[in-house]
Amino acid sequence: MALEIQNVSKTYMMGTEAVHALQSVSLSIEENEYIAIMGPSGSGKSTMMNVLGCLDTPTSGEYYLEGEDVSKMNDDQLAEIRNQKIGFVFQTFNLIPRATVFHNVELPLVYSGTPPAERILMANDAIERVGLTDRATHKPTELSGGQRQRAAIARALVNKPTIILADEPTGNLDSVTGREIMAILDGLHKAGNTIILVTHEQEIAEHAHRIVKLRDGQVESDVRPNRVGRNADVVLN
Amino acid sequence: MQIWEAFKMALSAIRANKLRSFLTLIGIISGVASIIAVMTGISVIQKTIEKEMSVLGTRTFQVQKFAAGGPTSEEEQRKIMKRKVVTVAQADAIREKVKTVDLVGSELWDFGYKAKYKNISTNSNLTICGGTPEYPENNTHYVRLGRNLSHEDVKVGRKVVVLGHAVAEELFPFTDPIEKRIKVDGRRYKVIGVFEEKKSAFGAGFDNYCLIPVTVFQRTYGRFNKQGRERSVNVTVRAKSAELLQDAIEETRMVMRFERNVKPGEEDDFTVFSNDSMIKSFNDVTAGVKAGAFLIGLIALIVAGIGIMNIMLVSVTERTREIGIRKSLGAKRRSILTQFLLEAIVLCNIGGVVGVLAGFGLGNVVSILTGFANAVPLEWAVGGLVFCTIVGLIFGMWPAVVASRLDPIEALRYE
């Protein structure tokens, strides 16, 4: 089991009104699973991602990540979990603009205290896996959208995390580039990574082998269709 | 995260905003530069003055009626005027009774005379010193040519004179002055020697004078000076060794008090000073200037520090998203805190280094303009940088704490 959440609720205060973003959600994700979390805006999708990504802690309920209860951890403990076990891929790439691709990719290793020599090897390795070796010394502003997202994926990979959490990874890309990025994620899954895809696009979600749909802070459906991608393509077209 | 990584991050952030960093630094630079410039300027003057004030040898002190370096108040002035004069007899008493001294000289001074050789005459600004053979040793002003006064000269009252460098140059531009007969204040003297040149950074130098035996001075000019006041002898005393200087001063004071009938409990009615005590009183004066300059610089640095804090707060707001990214990648609070704190400290120290260099430059302009020896007070440079670090630490702390406490989700969402 890669991760498991049990009866997780998250309540925000919006002014004086309490917003129940997640209501007693339970979900478990196996190692090397490829799962998509879908839902319209306001469904609790973002909150789910924040909780799964250890950026936020649930108001109630438990969250076990590789058997470790992370739901009660403090800021610094969560930071360490994010550093060691989670790789983020964001819609807006979130690269540091004044740093080169190499330095962006290297950053998680800096925060984990990896020695410099080792860092260079690991960062270059991750950059090579996404095919950006010839762009390693470029700054993000000198790259295309697809290249930026590849750099972000390299950064997500570099610390060899338990899960890769991709939040609308193709949202800012054209469809051709989007397919390239999805191909890379598919490849990572084949190579053994656990991938959680948060998206509202059916076409993107169908790359996953399991689709969880949220609505109003609750799980609406959790399906594991056989070769979901192929069949859906036929249906949609 | 290692400090070196945070340091690299700080440098890269400062480089990314060159103009803004520079504008922020102007405050720090001017604050540090003003402190360092004043301190350097004072050091330059101080170094020169210490040299100038070393008229007495390192183991010599002087006993006189008047205060060294002038009175500090009118009240003190009146008190000093009422003091009894110091006499040659008292100098003899010191020579006899104080065992820790080896040379005791007496000097009487008067100003505004004229010397003449054949048809060449000096201005009426010549100083005459009636002295004893101890004069050159005790004043570290030695005879370059011919000979010094002898005890014989003083005892017999020979009308001989040792000329200051400037006087000798003026009266004898082309000839050897030794054994020549000149007139000082209309009286005939034989030149027996010439003093070496004593350069001074302050104006003319101490060369425009001549030395005659103290007995001749007394016989010629009498007990009273032109203002009708009784002449007072300056007694120069040399301790047997530098280590014995303080003992010698104390013993001399005791002898003087006894000779002058100073009752126990009353303060001395004479002044004893050495080079050290003169330099010390000069330093007391400059201490005020230093404190003032330090205070002004301090205020400038505090203002600059507030500027740093302001710009760091702007920087934190601007880089909210960056902070969010770093946190999502596993940066702990302390890492973010270190990064922003170090950025403020590095910024301050860049300003500090530039300020120190500018201050040294400005301060040494004094030395270039006046021809004084230049000075580089390194302790103030180190102090300046330490202070910049403290300013960075204090004023960078709040922005860094704000940065470290940002919520990663909010920060990532920040546009």
How does pLDDT run across B312-358, given as a tens digit for each residue?
A: 999 999 999 999 999 999 999 999 999 999 999 999 999 999 999 99
User: Nearest-CA neighbor of B60 among B95, B104, B109, B93?
Assistant: B104
CA separation for the pair B307, B316 (Å, rounded)? 14
- Compute the average pLDDT of residues B270-279: 78
pLDDT for position B200: 61
- Compute the average pLDDT of residues B375-386: 84
Same-domain check for residues B200 and B137: yes
Residue type, B166: A
Same-domain check for residues B201 and B159: yes
User: Is B239 a domain residue?
Assistant: yes
Do B329 and A96 lie within an 8 Å CB cutoff? no
Kindly state the tokens that stand for B401.
């704490």
User: Is B74 a domain residue?
Assistant: no
Share of chain B above pLDDT 90, in %: 36
Same-domain check for residues B261 and B285: no
Same-domain check for residues B298 and B193: no
Do A80 and B330 lie within an 8 Å CB cutoff? yes
**Which residue on chain B is closest to A165 by alpha carbon?**
B328
Do A76 and B334 lie within an 8 Å CB cutoff? yes
Do A94 and B412 lie within an 8 Å CB cutoff? yes
Do A98 and B13 lie within an 8 Å CB cutoff? yes
Task: Give the residue from B269, B295, B324 where a domain finishes.
Answer: B269
User: Is B210 a domain residue?
Assistant: yes
Structural domain for B173, as ranges: 84-269
Using a CB-CB cut-off of 8 Å, the residues of chain B touching A56 are 409
Those residues of chain A whose CB sits closer than 8 Å to some CB in chain B are 50, 53, 55-56, 75-76, 79-80, 82-84, 88, 90, 94-96, 98-99, 107-108, 110-113, 155, 159
Share of chain B above pLDDT 70, in %: 94
Say if strands A194-198 and B101-113 run parallel, antiparallel, or are unpaired: unpaired
User: Is B63 a domain residue?
Assistant: no
Most A-contacting residue of B18, B318, B328 (CB-CB within 10 A), to test interface: B328
Highest mean pLDDT among A136-150, B80-94, B110-124: A136-150
Beta carbons within 10 angstroms of residue B354's beta carbon: 18
Chain A touched by B84 (CB under 8 Å): no
Residue A233 clears pLDDT 50, i.e. is over it? no
The partner residue sitting opposite A79, judged by closest CB among B324, B332, B412, is: B332
In degrees, rounded to 5, the angle at the alpha carbon of residue B192 between the alpha carbons of residues B190 and B194 is 120
Distance from CA of B4 to the nearest CA of A (A): 11
Same-domain check for residues B217 and B303: no
pLDDT for position B54: 61
Most B-contacting residue of A111, A118, A159 (CB-CB within 10 A), to test interface: A111
Distance from CA of A229 to the nearest CA of B (A): 31
A13 sits in which H/E element: strand A3-14
Tell me the domains of chain A and their CATH numbers: 30-58+74-236 (3.40.50.300)
Do A111 and B322 lie within an 8 Å CB cutoff? no
**DSSP labels, B109-148:** EEEEE-EEETTEE--TTEEEEEE-TTHHHHHT--EEEE--
User: Is B173 a domain residue?
Assistant: yes
Do A111 and B335 lie within an 8 Å CB cutoff? yes
How does pLDDT run across B160-169, given as a tens digit for each residue?
A: 999 999 899 9
The partner residue sitting opposite A83, judged by closest CB among B325, B330, B333, is: B330
Do A111 and B16 lie within an 8 Å CB cutoff? no
Same-domain check for residues B259 and B217: yes
- The alpha carbon dihedral of B296, B300, B303, B306 has a sign of negative
Chain A touched by B204 (CB under 8 Å): no
With cut-offs at 50, 70 and 90, classify the pLDDT of residue B205: low
Do B5 and A110 lie within an 8 Å CB cutoff? yes
Same-domain check for residues B263 and B285: no
Distance from CA of A230 to the nearest CA of B (A): 34
**Which residue on chain A is closest to B14 by alpha carbon?**
A98
ipTM of the complex: 0.91
User: Nearest-CA neighbor of B330 among B414, B415, B408?
Assistant: B408
With cut-offs at 50, 70 and 90, classify the pLDDT of residue A236: very low
Chain A touched by B4 (CB under 8 Å): no
Task: Give the residue from B269, B294, B317 where a domain finishes.
Answer: B269
Residue B202 clears pLDDT 90, i.e. is over it? no
Distance from CA of B334 to the nearest CA of A (A): 9
Same-domain check for residues B205 and B144: yes
**Which residue on chain B is closest to A112 by alpha carbon?**
B1
Same-domain check for residues B402 and B297: yes
Q: Are A21 and A42 in contact (CB under 8 A)?
A: no
Task: Give the residue from B224, B243, B269 where a domain finishes.
Answer: B269
- Between B43 and B148, the more confident residue is B148
Chain A touched by B412 (CB under 8 Å): yes
Same-domain check for residues B254 and B291: no
Residue A237 clears pLDDT 50, i.e. is over it? no
Size of interface A-B (CB pairs under 8 A): 62
**Count of domains observed in chain B:** 2
Q: Are B399 and B344 in contact (CB under 8 A)?
A: yes
pLDDT for position B67: 80
User: Is B162 a domain residue?
Assistant: yes
Most B-contacting residue of A22, A94, A198 (CB-CB within 10 A), to test interface: A94
Distance from CA of B408 to the nearest CA of A (A): 6
Same-domain check for residues B91 and B134: yes
CA separation for the pair B157, A114 (Å, rounded)? 93
User: Is B371 a domain residue?
Assistant: yes
Do A96 and B325 lie within an 8 Å CB cutoff? yes
CA separation for the pair A190, B79 (Å, rounded)? 103
Distance from CA of A111 to the nearest CA of B (A): 5
Question: Is A143 in a helix, a strand, or coil?
Answer: coil
Using a CB-CB cut-off of 8 Å, the residues of chain A touching B324 are 94
Q: At what angle do helices A116-129 and A145-157 cross, to 10 degrees?
A: 130
The partner residue sitting opposite B322, judged by closest CB among A75, A96, A111, is: A96
Residue B52 clears pLDDT 70, i.e. is over it? no
User: Is B189 a domain residue?
Assistant: yes
Do B409 and A56 lie within an 8 Å CB cutoff? yes
Do B328 and A53 lie within an 8 Å CB cutoff? yes
Do A111 and B332 lie within an 8 Å CB cutoff? yes
- Compute the average pLDDT of residues B207-230: 88
Same-domain check for residues B293 and B382: yes
